[in-house]
Amino acid sequence: MPYNAHGDRYASMRYNRSGKSGLKLPAISLGLWHNFGGVDRYETSRAMVLSAFDMGITHFDLANNYGPPAGSAEETFGQIMQHDLKPYRDEIIVSSKAGYYMWPGPYGEWGSRKYLVSSCDQSLKRMGLDYVDIFYHHRPDPDTPLEETMQALDYIVRSGRALYVGISNYRPERAREAFAILKQLGTPCVIHQPSYNMFDRWIEETGLVDLLGDEGVGCIPFSPLAQGMLTDRYLSGIPDGSRASKPHGFLKPDRVTPEKLAIVRQLQAMAHERGQNTAQLALSWVLRDARITSALIGASSVDQIKEAVGALDAAPLTAEDSARIEQILRS
């Protein structure tokens, strides 16, 4: 059945400027890290992407290694773009990344110019796109000179392969150096993608979020729900099909501890007082800081995306709310 986007898709979504750039992103963005690979059901993946767009989510985040198998999430998204979203390309922000292992030999990972340009070309081919809106270096390379990596990002923009560049998983010291090089080259970094949630606050503790604010660089945290721990999903055990139930998943069962579950139960009670569920409260908490451009969610169903977008309906957290959450997290 031909897809026609919902007419009022922009009515309720909030859009935030990425740092001091001209780029605006939805407050909730959809990441295709899990559940969009070749092993997943295409119609489910398609339904999630199209429903997200109908809800005003205009930003879809990928990477060359997303799947499994690696590359297949971009292929899935490419099919959806060509069959359904092609008429809406100018309304959509597509991002991809390169940095992790993709092919054998010395040029198949990290941050060399050879790898980054080749990887970007492969990503464009898999998605059937002429360009991506944002291209990230996915992780710092301890061996390649930072100047080479940043020059490669600059070249990717100047050659028309991307409109903007970003970095991911960079600590503050390295990020500051990267920003300075990109500014000098004339292709400033517009966004940083770190992990961040109530249980993982390194961007606060290291001063990264302060640096991003000072530099005018946007911030789009991934794993805002701590791989599902900051939801109601694990309160009665580890359900089949959940991330913690998968033997090779990123959320290991031993991380779902009684101590963390006790915290989640207290957060659940607070969320219910606010007319939210735990996941929505966790998203409200991530988005409480004006320096956070967007929360990058993952999803395995349309209902989970609706739930995440519903977080925007609640009143912003007050100073008293934030203090209460801090007390719960210390308990």
Tell whether 134 is covered by a domain.
Answer: yes
Tell whether 48 is covered by a domain.
Answer: yes
- pLDDT, tens digit (0-9, with 9 covering 90-100), for 182-206: 999 999 999 999 999 999 999 999 9
Tell whether 224 is covered by a domain.
Answer: yes
Q: Which residues of 159-196 are buried (b: 16+ CB within 10 A; e: fewer)?
A: eebbbbbbbbbbebeebeebbebbeebebbbbbbbbbb
What is the mean predicted confidence (pLDDT) over 12-36? 98
Residues 6+ apart with CB under 8 A from 3: 50, 83, 84, 85
- pLDDT, tens digit (0-9, with 9 covering 90-100), for 61-91: 999 999 999 999 999 999 999 999 999 999 9
Tell whether 244 is covered by a domain.
Answer: yes
Give the range of the structural domain holding residue 25, as residue numbers without chain letter: 15-253+290-314
Q: How confident is the model at residue 244 (pLDDT cuts 50, 70, 90)?
A: very low
**Where do the DSSP E strands lie in 177-241?**
189-193, 218-219
Tell which residue, 42, 51, 27, has the closest CA to residue 78. Answer: 42
Tell whether 320 is covered by a domain.
Answer: no
Strand order in the sheet with 162-168: 218-219, 189-193, 162-168, 132-137, 93-98, 59-61, 28-31, 295-297
Q: How many domains does the chain have?
A: 1
Distance in angstroms (rounded) separating the CA atoms of residues 265 and 129: 44
Tell whether 58 is covered by a domain.
Answer: yes
* Whole-number pLDDT of residue 255: 75
What is the mean predicted confidence (pLDDT) over 210-231? 97
What is the mean predicted confidence (pLDDT) over 198-219? 98
What is the mean predicted confidence (pLDDT) over 107-119? 98
Is the confidence at residue 248, as pLDDT, over 90?
Answer: no
- pLDDT, tens digit (0-9, with 9 covering 90-100), for 270-326: 999 999 999 999 999 999 999 999 999 999 999 999 999 999 999 999 999 999 999
CATH number at residue 214: 3.20.20.100
Q: Is the omega angle on the peptide bond into residue 68 within 30 degrees of 0, that is, cis?
A: yes
Distance in angstroms (rounded) separating the CA atoms of residues 297 and 290: 18
pTM, rounded to two decimals: 0.94
Tell whether 272 is covered by a domain.
Answer: no
The token pair at 289 is 């800081």
